Chains A and B, each alone.
Chain A
């Protein structure tokens, strides 16, 4: 497992290069493994595929990054983690995506995204669920400041297929957030009761945000524009 690069944008680029490895599509996998066709057919016939029931085996959890490699602001406090309310479906089906929220040693709010299985957040690799380590995969940010509309991060994963996962916290007066990839349909999410939101996109697009507030006003954040690119904004 590669150690993440310190500059977040460089790490995101690394994942984009990794995605070039072109994980085979589901169609290609099915062609190359005829036995899977039978499994899919059975799932369809029994209706379990539509219900999102996927047989997963438990794989080894991902190891923690060495604690010394992380600054205190990026080290989640043991026992402070919980599964956030927000969940989002994967475009190809299977377990939902969710956010593991925790608090760092300096009071930052940390988020790690992945597929949710038995209330835990992890990755699915070759039919195995592997829980994320406590140290390493989280991104930590300050809690929302007074007047701050929302905080946003986009996590990228290239395995098994490239996904962009937009997630974060929204203020209490945010009604909904429209997240728009450059060349695909937008996804509109409503913040959950705990203020979290999450949306999952195929591929690795650049995302623009329109935040709709309860009072009918909106705020547009477009990282592709000439405006500042940080997703955190004060109203």
Chain B
């Protein structure tokens, strides 16, 4: 791993971990296309920051790149769009997904089963949380809009969405996390 510092070994590093990161992000976003965008940004970020990597083992490197993935996913949740800063700096455009790619990613991430489980768990949420989560995630409304729609304060809206997502989150932990190709 010593050498993430040159592009060729970075490519080898990418090849070892890209699919696992993609699966990790697909299970968190339930959206292969979005997950690919995030995966591309994860590795572009890693490429730009590779000189700062202080680990010495493959395990360190994997942990480092998954940390970047988790951070970028968190930022996506906060901002509502996938960041592309590192990709733009490197001049890299994310490739388009083909139908067969999408199907294979969904298969690798166990997305069909996961979606069913999320739907079941979602239906079991208390009605107040379910409505708040649906307005935030499905309708993509802001917290002030959710508050207005439900006749509650913005803080309450945030709390309901947060609790609802927390209850769903356990399902979105990837079973393939950390595995290579």
Contact = CB atoms under 8 A, between A and B. Distances in A.
The finding on whether chains A and B are genuine partners in a shared complex, rather than unrelated, reads yes
Interface in B100-114: 100-101, 104-105
B93 A182 contact: yes
B19 A14 contact: no
A93 interface: no
Interface residues of A, number: 27
Contact of A17 (B36, B47, B93, B181): B47
Contacts of A154: 95
B31 to A, nearest CB: 13
A229 B93 CA distance: 14
A50 interface: no
Nearest to B6: A21
A223 interface: yes
B14 A223 contact: no
A21 B101 contact: no
Contact of B98 (A6, A14, A20, A230): A230
B96 A14 contact: no
B101 A7 contact: yes
A6 B166 CA distance: 33
Contacts of A230: 96-99
Given A2-B12, A229-B98, A17 B22 contact: no
Of the listed residues A8, A10, A16, A22, the one surrounded by the most CB atoms of chain B closer than 10 A to its CB is A10
A34 B96 CA distance: 41
B19 A9 contact: no
A204 B6 CA distance: 20
B19 A6 contact: yes
A187 B101 CA distance: 27
Given A7-B19, A7-B22, A13 B94 contact: yes
Contacts, number: 89
B19 A18 contact: no
A18 B98 contact: no
A12 B18 CA distance: 12
Contacts of B11: 2, 14, 17-18, 21
Contacts of B90: 20
A17 B7 contact: yes
Nearest to B46: A17
A44 interface: no
A24 to B, nearest CB: 13
A229 B14 contact: no
A5 interface: yes
Give the top 5 A-B pairs by smallest Cβ distance, nearest first. A21-B7, A223-B96, A229-B96, A12-B95, A9-B95
Given A6-B104, A8-B100, 18 more contacts: A5-B19, A7-B22, A8-B95, A13-B18, A13-B92, A14-B11, A14-B18, A16-B93, A16-B95, A17-B47, A17-B92, A21-B7, A154-B95, A206-B94, A206-B95, A223-B96, A229-B97, A230-B96
Interface of B: 6-8, 10-12, 14-15, 18-19, 22, 33, 36, 39-40, 43, 47, 90, 92-101, 104-105, 181
Interface of A: 2, 5-10, 12-14, 16-18, 20-22, 154, 182, 204-206, 223, 228-232
